[in-house]
Structures are given as structure tokens and as C-alpha cells.
Amino acid sequence: MDREERKTINQGQEDEMEIYGYNLSRWKLAIVSLGVICTGGFLLLLLYWMPEWRVKATCIRAAVKDCEVVLLRTTDEFKMWFCAKIRFLSLESHPFVNPKSTANKISNGHAVHLTENPAEDTSHEINKYSQTQSQQIRYFTHHSVKYFWNDTIHNFDFLKGLDEGVSCTSIYEKHSTGLTKGMHAYRKLLYGINEIAVKVPSVFKLLIKEVLNPFYIFQLFSVILWSTDEYYYYALAIVIMSIVSIISSLYSIRKQYIMLHDMVATHSTVRVSVCRVNEEIEEIFSTDLVPGDVMVIPLNGTVMPCDAVLINGTCIVNESMLTGESVPVTKTNLPNPSVDIKGMGEELYSPETHKRHTLFCGTTVIQTRFYTGELVKAIVVRTGFSTSKGQLVRSILYPKPTDFKLYRDAYLFLLCLVAVAGIGFIYTIVNSILNEVEIGEIIIESLDIITITVPPALPAAMTAGIVYAQRRLKKVGIFCISPQRINICGQLNLVCFDKTGTLTEDGLDLWGIQRVENNGFLLPEENVCNELLVKSQFVACMATCHSLTKIEGVLSGDPLDLKMFEAIGWILEEATEEETALHNRIMPTVVRPPKQLLPESTPVGNQEMELFELPAIYEIGIVRQFPFSSALQRMSVVARVLGDKKMDAYMKGAPEVIANLCKPETVPAEFEKVLEDYTKQGFRVIALAHRKLESKLTWHKVQNISRDAIENNMDFMGLIIMQNKLKQETPAVLEDLHKANIRTVMVTGDNMLTAVSVARDCGMILPQDKVIIAEALPPKDGKVAKINWHYADSLTQCSNSSAVDSEAIPIKLVHDSLEDLQITRYHFAMNGKSFSVILEHFQDLVPKLMLHGTVFARMAPDQKTQLVEALQNVDYFVGMCGDGANDCGALKRAHGGISLSELEASVASPFTSKTPSISCVPNLIREGRAALMTSFCVFKFMALYSIIQYFTVTLLYSILSNLGDFQFLFIDLAIILVVVFTMSLNPAWKELVAQRPPSGLISASLLFSVLSQIVICIGFQSLGFFWVKQQPWYLYSDACNTTGSPFQNSSHLDNETEHDIRNIQNYENTTVFFISSFQYLIVAVAFSKGKPFRQPCYKNYFFVVSVIILYIFILLIMLHPVASIDQVLQIECVPYEWRITMLIIVLVNAFVSIMVESFFLDTVLWKVVFNRDKQGEYRFTTQPPQESVDRWGKCCLSWALGCRKKTPKAKYMYLAQELLVDPEWPPKPQTTTEAKALVKENGSCQVITIT
């Protein structure tokens, strides 16, 4: 086998990784050991930080099949390395492994199992995974998942349960009887314990891991260095800071582990009943469950310890743990294809496809309904970390790194500082050798320059701004579980909104109904609760076709179902456990009208009502329920009126879906027109249908029939019209976002026209904007896929004027010259089916549609996630705001996902708003922008702090001097730390502005800002340093005319006294100390900008007070020296005239710094850069260019910025510029775009105009 082989595991999945095999090499290990000793352990640290180097340095390549260590690398953009040791699972000590003693099939091919053939026997299974006769299976563990070697595919693969490759037929035929004890023990050996183990690491382990962080190692190095140089006070201060930082970090990490542990521990060990092959019930611990076990769901409910598919009975489940939706969900048993009339064929079971029949780990079963003698049973399909909850916990334990330009630039910034430190390091060595300094001192001073250049307080300073932003978000009811994302939210330029419950009110109000009679619509009726309709099939459908249930006597369920049921005023009664036990069949839920609605005699005048013989009471029993499926967009029930021989099937759902399942002759001719009229007005429309079932359908048969056999050949009954009102704050919030040039997109499961209507009502689409509906059809009957383009009619009359409101939402990109805007803007709208077809067959069109797509209707949960990904692929920073119910994937995938669910259940979402209002979106973006600008300010300040101190020390090294211990201490603690932690306190600006902060540190404006301040500070420091040498008193020790001074200014003399052996106290030191101390405060004030992203710095009271106190203190000791302070800070006394001169230098420095930063940078460069960005991005507003920018200023800078203007960085900006000159875009009305059949892979397409 090829020694250099590379294999891929989890192919095509999110966690796809390349895998390389290695064997331990003794001679390499010996060399590394020697290297560790020679480097004083530093090489060991380096290998600890770099897994790839560690493996390559100590191992040699080997075949993956026979290796001892595997090296893994992710295939995503991060290319992260991991290593894992190969372990062996021994089977020979277990008698049940012997194929002769185990006659049963192992899970029918699904025990350890990666094969499609469900009839493999035990010996084949074991041979597939073990390479030797000693029955040993090789495996490794990565991120809580075990990967076993599989001889069939010659690769490692993780164990799959019954969730892949198992047909619905085999679930019933081969898995419903349960496992033997031997088979159970064998599977437990392979699958391990069924638990989601979140081990809370010991404090010692966490401490070691934290201390071995490169940053703390660097600090340790700094402290040792300072101690050898007798900088004890500063070293002690850094040690205290590090200890505080480590303790707070350990506390927060351990607290998160404990919270996560508590969250998963709720079901960790409970006693459960399982059915064995001989029909005996065995009670075991939930940790012993394995895939294939048949679990009995207890009557009083339970928290599910695994993922299981329901095969008997019905369960009411609260899934808020996973979805954030508190509405109870009804789970029914998986349809059994063998007893099905129509037959489902060999449909494969999938937890996602069949989620209405799957009980997920961590969800709470509230109630069960069952047959007597036939307990409510579910087959375990996944255990441990393979379950849906386990995968969620894994995503929290092992999150993907956040890829954000700011963090990438931060590393570049540190590298630049290291390079600067390198220059200083070489300069110090050369200068010291030339001045014949001792070798020990050369080493200490040259290493010291590195610790000065790379500031130890940088990480703490960077974290401060985010911590403060997190606190401010908490105050406005937004909770954050991923603080690093706050900065990314400052870059959001597109926000996707769910419609129902997010843009509109959660509850729907019943506006009215429109029944069908004699194949035609009757007039709309407002009141459904009346005697004339009480026995109509229409009301019977409203009474039965829902998933409502009583929990502790209170009716609960889907809000739409609740409104519908409340409108008819009926009563719902559920059988008690005692009543169910008395019958040999499931006791149905019963609904009946209140007595006052029932007429006293048999009603006449309505033919369908004559079907009912009026018994003493009139009630309907719900025999079987097919729950609502967002994929099918419908639900149905089988019900029977008390005393009737035949059963009835009722169905409700999306009108277009229901109409297709009805007899064409029962659907009114004007159906589409009526539906369009309602949806255009923004109503939510639901259609109802009914049919009588055959008398041969018995109660038992109905329990096993598939929904397809019921949901066909129905009679169309009419429409329910629900009103979904916009939330009061929606239009105002969207207007704020539009003013801030943030695009808004609607992603909903509702009808397309309803969604377009709501988009117009809330201002997402303006009255004068065109809406182009993309209707994509998949390939059919040999014809290629195609898109039909329709222009939706605008509801309101547009003015003929081509001028557009300056605050309007932008859709078509403007020309470079904003004054040339003479175009009508357009939006694309499409449904989920079309979106899927376009993704598959029209990849070339996807980016163009993403640039202008505004309404995406009838979107399934996974399609919402695909949409977010598609938008991110064209370089949008995407926010997602949803109610957490079916938006989990999209909330997690977006750069900033905000769940409006109050439950802490939406663990998937980085942000959760306590108040279910979209006003949290602008709040989050404002805080994100403020946090991002704070990060920039802190970075710039820390860069200047490093360079100022570096230059101070370099100047002093040239005269063999340095800053004193207490001078360092005063600068680093009293000035830097106080300033850093208070300058981060600026709150966010009160409104969103059109500009966006830069996304990275390496941007023209930020670099200019930093470089200009460096030049200014170096200039004024050099001025002071060289000017003091020109003073007439420089050569004398009694410059202040004080008597008894025993020594002269030691900077230029050879005879140093004992008490200043390191030559600290001299005129140059005093001068640069005072000037640099003021410079730190000057740049802090210059960089602490307010508008447009943060409140002005004068509103940051802590910062203002701190800076004023520091200014006063430094001025005081400079102009009016205090002997004790001078002695501690080792300040040399200088004449009063020179003190005034230093003050003038500082004042001029302050004036120049503030003018360059605030006037030149803000008024000229910054605004021109932003103005250019507006033209280059999708900033399509027709506001004139910033009038405050002088024409000459623009002209001067335009040539410098011209190159960037031509090639925008973001793909969507580049694409928008291309589309401006594309005559074929947007597509013309009534045209069709067809996919090219021959080159389908690359998604090319052509436009054919239909005439």
C-alpha cells in the first residue's frame, strides 16, 4: 500500500477531514528529546501548540490501515490539524461474539455498520472491522466520535445507527421485535455507553491548559527576564494581572462547562423498559440503550434519552429543547408499508424526513396514547453523541473557529510588532557591543526590547470592549453565547427575517371563511360559530383537522389551530388513562359543539346535513392524525361521527397543494383568482378538503394506513382566511435598516403572494419597485430545467416620475456617478421548490438572484440554511432573525443569528432576544459596530503604546540608559491599563448610520491613522531628546541650582555612582519620560472617537475623569516637582524654563495629533473613503455625495483610490457593477431561461424569449 496515501473521512459533510497514517519513530523521538533539553523545554511547548509538527517530528509515514497515529486536517478554509492515537477494541473475551453462538443477524447489517446489505451475518460483520483472527477492531476517537477501520471501504468510518440505509419496511419486519441479550451486549461493546458525556475538567487540568497558552508563556518569559534585570515591581504587577486574568478565564470556562453539563445531564441516567425478542420486558438503565433496542415509552411521559422512531401509538412531545418552539408536537407511529393499501415501496427511513414519527433525544414526552396490550413503543435509532441533541452539544463543545478579518489582521499586526522588535533587538546588540557593554547585560537588554514591543496587556485590552458590549446587550434583553460574534455583527449588511411571529404578529386572527357549494364560491362569511353551519363538513373539518391537545386541562398546540378551533366554539375531550384501559382499541380524542349550537330538531335545507342521523348527542371522534408537515404543506385526519358507519377524511393546508389533491371538478374555476386576491391583500389562506372513506376501512386498518392513501381524490370545501397583522414596530425597524444601507430579505414558509404583500406593507418592497417572480421547473420528460419569469402586478399606483425617494431600499446598483440614477429598482421573489431547482441547475444565476432576491416563500428549514450560505458566498455579512422554531440551521449558519424565542432552547443561535421584537436587530448591529470600533481604537492605542515605549527605550539605549523600574510601572499600570479599560466603555451611537466600519485593521484609513501618529510621536520625542542636549545647563549636575548634588548628569560621564549604577537618572530620561507620558494620553484622546458608531468620548465619564486626573498628576510633577515622587520615579531635576519648554512641546504635539486624526483623517480621507464605498458597494441611495468634502480634496484623493474603485473586494459589489452594463439583466417579462442539457455540471444557462 502507498505509504504516502491520503484518505478522506466524512466525505461531503460539514466535518470532512483528510486522514494521514503515521508510526512512532524511535530515532526521531530521541532527536526531539535532545532538542527539548537543549531549548529548555521550549521545543516541547512548540510541539504542544502545533499537532502537525508534533506528529511529523516524532513519527514516520505509514499506511492508514496499519498506522499507530492518525493526523487529521479539516478540508474547510481553516485547514486545522488534529492528531489521534489508534486504539484496539478486543472482542475475543466476549463469548457472544462467536458466530456459532450468535445465530441472529447483527442488526441486519446495521450493528457496526456501514453496509447496504441487511442480511449480513455476525461473522461477516466482525471480519469487516477486524484485521486479525484475534478479533481486534482498530479505532480512534475525535471530537467525541469513534471512527472504526472498515475493511470493506478501506477507510475509517463512524458507526451508524438505524438512521441511514434502513428502509421503513425493515424497521417493522426486522427491528420491531427487539434484541437478544447477547446481541445487545455485542452492540453495547461497539456503540459504547449511551450518554452525552460533557466532562467538567478539573481546575488543575484547565489551569495547565490555560497557562500553556502562548500568551501566558510569553508573559512568563517576560517576568523571568524582568526579574533578572531587577524590575521586580513591574514583574510582580504583570504576575498579579496574569493571575487575575487566568482565574477569571478559568471561572468562565468552568462555568460554561458546568452549564452545558447540567443541560445534558437531565436524562443522563434513567430507568427504561425495553422489549426483548421473546416479548419479555426488561428494565435497564438508559445508558445501556443501543440502536435496535425497542423502548417502551411510559404513560406519564419521560425525557427521551436517545433518538427513537415510534412504531406503536402516539406521543405529545415538547421539543423546545431543540427548536425553541414551546408548542407541543404530536408524534405518530411510522407508517408500516407492509399493511399499507397503496404501499410506500422501499422508502428509506431518515430522522429528518420522518421527524413527525421520530422522538428526539432531550425532548420531553408529555403524554402518550396507546392500544391496550400494545404499549407505546419506539425503536432506538441513534445514541450518545450521534443523536440530534448530541450533535448540538458537539457543535457547542467543538465550535468552528470564527473567520473574521479583524482577527486575521490582529495576527498580522502582532507579526509587524515582532518585526519591529527584531530591528530593535539587532540595534541593541550592535549598540551595546560598540559601547563595550558586558555580555550578560547585552542579552537582558536586547530581550527586554522584545517584551516592550509586544504588549503583555493586549489580549486583556481586546477582550474588555467585547465584555462591555455583552453587558450592554444584556441590559436591552439580548443574551449572547458567542461573544466573539458581537464584533462580526458590526459588519452585517444584510438581514434575513422570518415572517410569521417575527415581522408579523405570532397569532393569526380568523378574518372569515369562503365555502364552496356546487363547484362555486359562496360569499365570504365572518361568523363560523352559528347553528346553520354546526353540522356542515366545513366546520367538522375545522373541529377535527388540528393537532391540539389538552395539557393539564388547558388546550394547547399550534397558534393557527387554536384560533381556528376557538372560532367555532367547540369542545375537545381526551380519553383518560382509565377509559383507554377499558377498551380494546385506542380511545379517540372527541370534539363536539356546545349544546346551545345544536338545533332541537333535524336540520333541513342542506343536503349534506341529511347524512347525519341525529343521535342524542352529536360528536366526532378523531381516529387517526397525520400531523402537519412543512415539506408536504398539509395535515389530515381520519374521523368518525358518532353513529356513522363510514369514516371521514379531512385535510387542510396550503391552497395550491390541497387543490392538486382534490377532484378537479370540485375545485371552482375562479379558485386561482380568489386565492390571488386574498394573498395580495396579505391574508394567510388555508384550504379545506374532505372525503368519505370506504366502509371496509376498519379502525385497525386506519391505524396503519399511509397518508398518501388518504390524501387523494378529495372534495374541495373552501378557504379559511386568516389575518396576520404586522407587528407595530416592524415598518419603523425596517426603515432604520434601509437608512443604514442594510438590505432586508424575507424568508418564510408562507404563500408567495402573501409574503410579497407583507413585504410591500412593511416597506421591504416599495410601491414603485418591480417584483419579478422566478418560477423554476425541474427537468421532466426529457426536457431540461427552466425558469419562467413573471412580473407581479404592483398594488399601488406608481408615479411616473423616475426620481426615487432618497431613503428607499436599494436594489439595483447605481452608476459610479450617483446623479445618473434613472432606473427602476427590482426584486426577485421565488418559492422553496424554485430555489432548489435554481441551486441545482442554474448555479450561474444564483449570485445574480442573491443580489436582488427579497422574498423567499414556502422555504423548508434546510432551504433557509442554503439561502444564508448562498448569500455568504457572494460576500454578504448575513444576519438572521427568526422565532427559533424552524430557523435553527439558518440562525447557526448566519454571521449573526438572533432568536426571538424566550426559551433558552435556541442553543443554536449565538444571540437570543428576551423580547420577541425585531427592534433587537438594530440594537445588536449598533452594539456590534461600537464593539468593532472599540476594538480598532484599542488596537491602535496599543500599537502606539508599544511604538512610543519602544522608541523611548531605543533612544535611551543609545546613551546606555533606560527607563526606571517605577517609570515603567507608572506608564504600564497607571496610564495604559486605566486608559485601555476606560476607553472601551463608550456606549453605542443612538442610531444606525449609512456607513459601516472597516472590517479589518489593514485598511487605508486605519493604517494612515496609526502611521501618522507614530511619525508625530517619534518626531516630538526625538525633538525633546536632542534639544535637551543643546541646553547650556546640560553638562552640569546642578541644573536646578540645588546644592550638595554629589554627581553630574551621568548620561555623558564615565564615573557612575553606586546609587544609579544603571544610569537611569539623567536629563534625557526625564525629558522623554514626561513627553512620552503625555503622548500616551494624547493618542488615547485622539483615538477615542464617538460618532458615527459610538457615543462621544465626553459621555464616557470614567474615561474623562481618568484622563483628567492623569493629566493633572503628570503636569503637577512636571511643573511643580515633589521630591518624594521624583525620588521614586528617578526623575532628574531640570530648570523651570525647560519644564515650560517640555509643556510647549507636549501642547504642540497634542494639537498636531488631534488635528491630523480629527480634521484631516475624518473630514477628508475618512469621508472620501466612505463615499467611495457607498458608490462601490450596493449603496444605491440617491443622496448626493458628502457635501462637507471639498471638491479639491476628492480630486486629490481620487487617483490614489482609483485602483480600488475598479475592483471592489466583495463579490456582490463586483457582480453589481457587471450587471449595470448587462442588457439581458434583469430578465424581461414572460421570458424563459433554460438550463443547457449538455453542460449541466457548471450550471450554464441560456435565455430564450417566448413570444
What is the edge-to-edge ordering of all strands in the sheet holding 896-899?
478-480, 911-913, 896-899, 878-882, 494-497, 743-747, 853-857, 826-831, 770-777, 786-792, 1231-1235, 1245-1249
**Closest residue by Cα to residue 829 from 789, 873, 863:** 789
Q: What's the CA gap between 524 and 517, in Å, rounded? A: 12
* DSSP assigned state of 982: H
Residues 6+ apart with CB under 8 A from 416: none
Q: What's the CA gap between 67 and 79, in Å, rounded? A: 22
Q: What's the CA gap between 390 and 268, in Å, rounded? A: 12
Sign of the Cα torsion 22, 27, 28, 34 reads positive
The three cell numbers locating residue 142: 475525535
| 373: exposed, middle or buried (Cβ count in 10 Å: 0-12, 13-18, 19+) | exposed
- What pairs with residue 24 in β-bridges? 59
* DSSP assigned state of 738: H
Q: What's the CA gap between 638 and 646, in Å, rounded? A: 10
Q: Which residues are catalytic?
A: 498
Q: What's the CA gap between 719 and 706, in Å, rounded? A: 25
In degrees rounded to 5, what are phi and psi of residue 621? -100, 135
Secondary structure class of 1001 (helix, strand, coil): coil
Residues 6+ apart with CB under 8 A from 657: 632, 633, 634, 687
| 428: exposed, middle or buried (Cβ count in 10 Å: 0-12, 13-18, 19+) | buried
∠ CA 758-759-761, nearest 5°, is 60
- Check whether the bond before 1092 is cis (ω within 30° of 0): yes
Secondary structure class of 912 (helix, strand, coil): strand
Sign of the Cα torsion 304, 307, 312, 315 reads positive
The dihedral region occupied by 964, where left means phi > 0, alpha psi between -120 and 50, and beta the remainder, is: beta
For 81-114, b where at least 16 C-beta lie within 10 A, e where not — what string? bbbbebeebebeeeebbeeeebeebbbbbbbbbb
Q: 860 with 832: CB under 8 angstroms?
A: yes
Q: 291 with 309: CB under 8 angstroms?
A: no
Q: What's the CA gap between 945 and 1010, in Å, rounded? A: 11
* DSSP assigned state of 858: S
